[in-house]
Structure 1
Amino acid sequence: MGGGKRFAVLQCAEDSDYVKKMYEGYFGVFVGMLAEGGETWDVYRVAAGDFPNDEGIDAYDGFVITGSCNDAHGNDPWICKLLNLLKKLDSMKKKVLGICFGHQILARALGGRIGRAISGWDIGVRTIHFSPSSKLLASLKMPKLLPIIECHQDEVWELPSKAEVLAWSSKTGIEVFRYGDHMMGIQGHPEYTKDILLHLIDRLLQRNFIKESFAEEVRANVEVCEPDRDAWKKLCLGFLKGRLL
C-alpha cells in the first residue's frame, strides 16, 4: 500500500461484541465508508489511552474522530489529552473530520461551547438543512435537505467566531460546521447503518439511558425513514480528501 495517502481513526468508543462480529468494529465501519485504493488506515483507541506520538502525526493526511458514550464536555484524562492533540492538529492544518462526539470535542478544542442538548436525546433519522450560501453545496451539488442517522444527547452550543455553520435541523442548531479548510464536524452518523442504530437503541434501553416508549417511537421512525448514506459519504470523502472548493 506504500505511496498512497495515510489516515488515522481516533476511536473514542469501545466496540460492542455485535459491531465487532458484524462490522469488524467501528474502525471497520469507518474504513468501509471512507477508504479507497492505495491508502493506509490506522486506528488509535484514544479512549483506552492509545494516541499517536508527536513524530507520527505528520505522516498522516487526515484524521477521523468517532462517536463515544462519554461526554465531550467531560474532563477525563484521555479527553483532555485528545483536546491537546486536536489543538496541535489545528496548528498543523491537518484535515480532521469529527463525527458526533468527534464533532463536539472538535468544536470544544477550537474554542466553542458544548453541553447537554436542551431538547434532550435525538435518536433516529432526521432531515438536515444545508446553508444555501455554502460553497460546499455548490462544489458537491448536494441537495439542500439530507436525512442522516442521529444518536446523541449532547450538542454544540456555540462555535468559535471563525467557524461556519453549514447545516442545522429542527432539533439541533449546529448539525455540520467547518473551520477553515481543514476541520469539519458532523453531529449525525453518516457511517451508521440502520442495523447499527437499532442495536444501539437496544443497548441504551438495557442500560436505562432511554425509556421503552421512546425506544418504540424511534424504531417506528427508523422503519419508515432512510438516511442518504451515499450523499453523506460523498461529503465526507470530499472534505477529507480535498475535493471541495
Structure 2
Amino acid sequence: MKIGLLQCDDVAEALQPRHGNYPHLFQQAFSQVGSEVEWQVFRCHDGEIPQQINELDGWVISGSRHGVYDNLPWIDELGAFIRQCWQQRRPVVGICFGHQLLAQALGGTVKPHPQGWGIGVSFNQIVESRAWMQPSQDGLEILVSHQDQVVNLPSMGQVLAASQFCRNYMVEYDGVMLGIQGHPEFTRDYARDLMQYRQSVLPPNRVREALHSLSAPLDDRLVLAWIVNFLSQHHLR
C-alpha cells in the first residue's frame, strides 16, 4: 500500500538527534504492526501540496505546532486538497492537527480548549464501533499533545471515541476519512522529552500529571492497526 504522509511540521531540532523527524516516527511506528506501507512524504508546511489525489492509495496528515485557524497559505491549500479527496472519496487519516484540519475543511469548528493543554496519556471510551476496528475493545489509551480541539463536527462526522476532556476524540466521515486527536506514532520517550522541551508554556501541575500518566498501558499499536485496516478497505476495493 502506498501512502502519502502530508507532513505539517518538523520535530524540534533539539529533539531530532534522539527521535528523528516526523517521517521517521511514522515509518517506525507502522513497521511495528507489520504493515507493508511505502511512504511518500510531502512537506506541506513548506508549500509542497500534492497535485494528484489519486496517485497514492491514501493519505495521512501529521500533527503540527500550528493551529488550523492560523492564516497560513499552505493550511488553506491543504484544506482544499482535503475537500478534493472528499469529493472523490479518497481515504485520508488525520492525526492531531490533521484530525482538526479534516473537521475544519469539511465544515466543522476548531478552537483552543478552555481547560488548556492535553498532554500525556488520554483515556477514552469507544462509543461507536466499525468493522475495521479489529481487534475491538471498549477503551482507548493514547498519547496526546494538543491545546486545540474540534468543538463542532461537520454534518457527516460520527464520533467513535470520546472522553470528558475531548468529546470528539476519534471521528469517522462516512467511511472515507478518519480523524484521531491522539498520537499513535509517539513513543513514551518522545512524549516525555517534548513535555520537557515545552516546559515554558505548559502548566507545571499538568506536566506532573502527564508524566505520571506515562506509566499507563498504551493502545498505540492497536490504533496503528486500525488505521491500516481503515486504509486497506479502500485499497482492496
Q: 1:12-91 to 2 correspondence within 5 Å?
A: 12-17=8-13, 19-34=15-30, 39-53=37-51, 56-91=52-87
> Within 1, Cα distance between the matches of 2:104 and 2:167?
16
Structure richer in helix, relative to its length: 1
Long gaps (5+) in structure 2: none
Which amino acid in structure 2 is aligned with residue 216 of structure 1?
R
Given that 2:160 and 2:172 are in contact with CA atoms closer than 8 Å, whether structure 1 keeps it comes out as: yes
Q: 1:136-155 to 2 correspondence within 5 Å?
A: 136=131, 140-155=134-149
Aligned partner (choices 227, 238, 241) of residue 229 of structure 2: 238
Aligned-CA RMSD value: 2.0
- The percent identity for this pair of structures is 31
Does 1:182 pair with 2:176? Answer: yes
Q: Aligned pairs, how many? A: 233
Cα 1:37–1:142, aligned 2, differ >3 Å: closer, same or farther?
Answer: closer
Shift of 1:40: 2.5
> Within 1, Cα distance between the matches of 2:59 and 2:25?
15
Does 1:171 pair with 2:165? Answer: yes
CA deviations over 1:169-196 (Å, ceiling 9, x no partner): 1211100000012100000111111111
Long gaps (5+) in structure 1: none
Shift of 1:65: 0.4
Determine helix, strand or coil for the equivalent of 2:198.
Answer: helix
Matching residue of 1:118? 114
For structure 1, which segment, 36-45 or 185-194, has the greater mean C-alpha deviation from structure 2 after superposition?
36-45
Aligned partner (choices 92, 110, 114) of residue 96 of structure 1: 92
Shift of 1:19: 4.8
Which amino acid in structure 1 is aligned with residue 162 of structure 2?
W
Which amino acid in structure 2 is aligned with residue 162 of structure 1?
M
Aligned partner (choices 115, 129, 135) of residue 130 of structure 2: 135
Does 1:219 pair with 2:211? Answer: yes
Does 1:210 pair with 2:202? Answer: yes
> Within 1, Cα distance between the matches of 2:129 and 2:105?
23
> Within 1, Cα distance between the matches of 2:95 and 2:36?
24
Give TM-score scaled by structure 2 length.
0.91
CA deviations over 1:183-225 (Å, ceiling 9, x no partner): 00000111111111011101211xx211334323321222x31
Which amino acid in structure 2 is aligned with residue 232 of structure 1?
V
> Within 2, Cα distance between the matches of 1:213 and 1:117?
17
Given that 1:65 and 1:98 are in contact with CA atoms closer than 8 Å, whether structure 2 keeps it comes out as: yes
Give TM-score scaled by structure 1 length.
0.88
